[in-house]
Chains A and B, each alone.
Chain A
Amino acid sequence: MVANTNSKGVERLRYYLPTIVVAVAVLAVWELLVRLFNIQQFLLPKPSSIVTSLISEWPVIAPRIFFTTRSAVGGFVMGTAVGILMAFITARFVSLREAMMPFAIAANSVPIIALSPIMFNWFGPLNPFSWMVIVSVMVFFPVLINTVRGLTEVQPEALELMRSYAASPLKVLLSLRVPNALPYLFSALRVASVLSMIGAIVADFFGAERNTLGKYVTQEAAVLRFANTWAAILVASLIGIALYTFVLLVERWITPWSNGQEV
């Protein structure tokens, strides 16, 4: 097998080609249908008008990216840190785990985002920390649940091997439980990266701060400038995809043995 950089590039292209073709096709059909049936702009703007809006509105949208992205990233980091910490404590004590996990799994299926007004009430409607808390609560549960699973769902044979070496509990934790938990953790982080952007936007809706992407979405929709609304949604999606890709790259780097499919 000759693998020079050139054929690798071709390989890459071939891998992504279907995705690109589908994306282009969808956009083309979208544009065509809107033009053909003369669909009203406020129902569904053409992709081309969304792009035009994005360019003309960029000076208004750009400054708002910071606040919303900071909420998403800050909340993501906070929720992940607390989730991992709690997972270690929970995994350590069987009785605690049995008491907590059903609750955590139930909490994970509650639409936590509905708690937003309460968080603003607790931490202040203008305090950026409120946004981060809202996001971190969404991130917390999947990270907690998956990390606990990863730390505890260790193959019995793998544990017996450690036992046969009379390995210390610390060694078992560091050399067996933690690496075993990494693919589980990353699968939660991939979900969490998307959740954190959703959480930040919805928190924007409820918060008092005006200079946010979420507020821009509602404000432009209220005056029927839907192409602008779509442009902001496009920006939010791109940020979400960027966060997801970042997590994916870190995952590839830290867990090279796992192809990130299972769990």
Chain B
Amino acid sequence: MNNKPVISVSAANKIFNVGSDEAVIALKDINLEIQPGEFVSFIGPSGCGKSTLLRLIANLTEPTNGTVVVNGKSPQEARLNREYGFVFQAATLYEWRTIKKNVQLPLEIMGYAPEEREQRAQKMLEMVELGRFGNHYPGQLSGGMQQRASIARALAFEPPLLLMDEPFGALDEFTRDRMNMELLRIWRQTQTTVLFVTHSIAEAVFLSTRVVVMSARPGRIKDVIDIDLPHPRLFETRESEAYYGYVTAVRESLRDAFQAEIE
């Protein structure tokens, strides 16, 4: 493994509607470095700029100032090279495609052969427990099932970097636990770098190597907490003393973040 960071954000600001009365400072003075193979979670009050930060990295929006570097390149170059997979906060499936065809979409665009597309899509769908729903249309699936299909779609082309915006928000707790284990397994196996937005403290601590706590108005990084729990993470991990320690640390940091907002 090389030690060049996968992502390096320095002195980045993002202001929406610059110069108008409705100007919003979504991100202020963000500095962040993420190493290859890390699993970094972002947590913070609604509107603190978690989605915006992911979108900056994905080149779906531009920073107002500051720099963002992805794999040593500009975010645009990284995007054109298809170096990341993005799981959007909403499932964003194409309603005219069956679930299987939705999962195949990136493979189609990237020129995979039809048999390989078929194979990979089926494998991914089975992994998110939708193996039998390949021929359904998105409108026939529940919100949680749609969300899982969109995860299968992001994983289908095995991107070296995964940007996930509240991917498990619409899932029930049990499915969520299973999806967490799956995600960890893929992360270990493929050594992808994962950036993961969540509102769940427990999920953030359980999954991550680092948790980034953000505060709102303006969106800033408040704390970065290293999670030194052993890998692989198991169900027992959640019962360990150390785990509770980290959960408490993140909760306290978050409480301050919310407090700052109320005042």
Binding site for B on A (CB under 8 A): 155, 157-158, 160-167, 171, 175-176, 179-180, 182, 255-258
Complex-state Cα separation, A162 to B105, whole angstroms: 9
Does B92 contact A158, Cβ atoms closer than 8 Å?
yes
CB <8 Å contact, A164 and B60? yes
- A76 to B79 CA separation, bound complex (whole angstroms): 44
- Looking at the assembled complex, report how far the CB atom of A187 sits from the nearest CB atom of chain B, in whole angstroms: 15
The complex places the Cα of A163 from the Cα of B109 at a distance, in Å, of 11
B86: chain A residues within 8 A (beta carbon): 160-161, 164
A-B contact count (CB 8 A): 55
B222 neighbours in A (Cβ, 8 Å): none
Q: Are A158 and B94 in contact (CB under 8 A)?
A: yes
**B105, A175: Cβ atoms closer than 8 Å:** yes
A155 x B110 contact (CB < 8 A): no
Residues on A with beta carbons closer than 8 Å to the beta carbon of B60: 160, 163-164
State A70–B94 Cα separation when bound (angstroms).
38
How far, in angstroms, from A152 to B88 measured CA to CA in the complex?
21
Taking CB atoms, residues of chain A closer than 8 Å to B110 are: 165
A257-B137 contact, Cβ under 8 Å, with A164-B79, A165-B82? yes
Closest residue of chain B to A172 (Cβ to Cβ) is B109
For residue B116, give the distance in angstroms from its CB to the closest CB of chain A. Answer: 17
- Chain B residues with CB under 8 Å of A161's CB are 86, 88, 92, 105
CB-based contact A163/B95 at 8 Å: no
Q: Please indicate the chain B residues that have their CB under 8 angstroms from the CB of A171 in the complex.
A: 109
Partner of A257, one of B79, B81, B96: B96
The majority secondary structure among interface residues of chain A is helix
Assembly CA distance A124 to B171 (angstroms): 67
Q: Is the CB of A179 within 8 A of B96?
A: yes
**Which chain A residue has the least Cβ–Cβ distance from B76?**
A166
Among residues of B, the one whose C-beta sits closest to the C-beta of A259 is B139
The 3 closest A-B pairs by CB, nearest first: A179-B96, A257-B137, A157-B92
Q: How far is the CA of A178 from the CA of B137 in the complex (A)?
A: 18
1/0 contact string of B70-110 vs chain A (CB within 8 Å): 00000000011110111010101011110000000110111
Within 8 A of A (CB), among B1-27: none
Quote the shortest CB–CB distance from A34 to chain B (angstroms).
48
Q: Which of A160, A180, A182, A255 contacts B88 (CB 8 A)?
A: A160
B58, B90, B94, B139: the one within 8 Å of A164 (CB): B58
Known: A257-B96, A257-B138. 14 other contacts (CB 8 A): A157-B92, A158-B94, A163-B79, A164-B79, A166-B80, A171-B109, A175-B108, A175-B109, A176-B94, A182-B96, A256-B137, A257-B97, A257-B137, A258-B95
Interchain nearest-CB distance for A124 vs B (Å)? 44
Partner of A167, one of B85, B97, B109: B109
B87 nearest CB across to chain A (Å): 10
CA of A258 to CA of B140 in the docked complex: distance in angstroms? 11
- Contact residues in B for A255 (Cβ distance below 8 Å): 96
Can you sample 15 A-B contacts with CB below 8 Å? A155-B92, A157-B88, A157-B92, A161-B105, A163-B60, A164-B84, A164-B85, A165-B106, A166-B79, A166-B82, A175-B105, A179-B96, A256-B137, A257-B95, A258-B96
Q: Which residues of A contact B96 (CB under 8 A)?
A: 179-180, 182, 255, 257-258
How many whole Å from A254's CB to the nearest CB in chain B? 10
User: Which residues in A have their C-beta under 8 angstroms from that of B137?
Assistant: 256-257
**In chain B between 101 and 125, which residues have their CB closer than 8 angstroms to a CB of chain A?**
105-106, 108-110
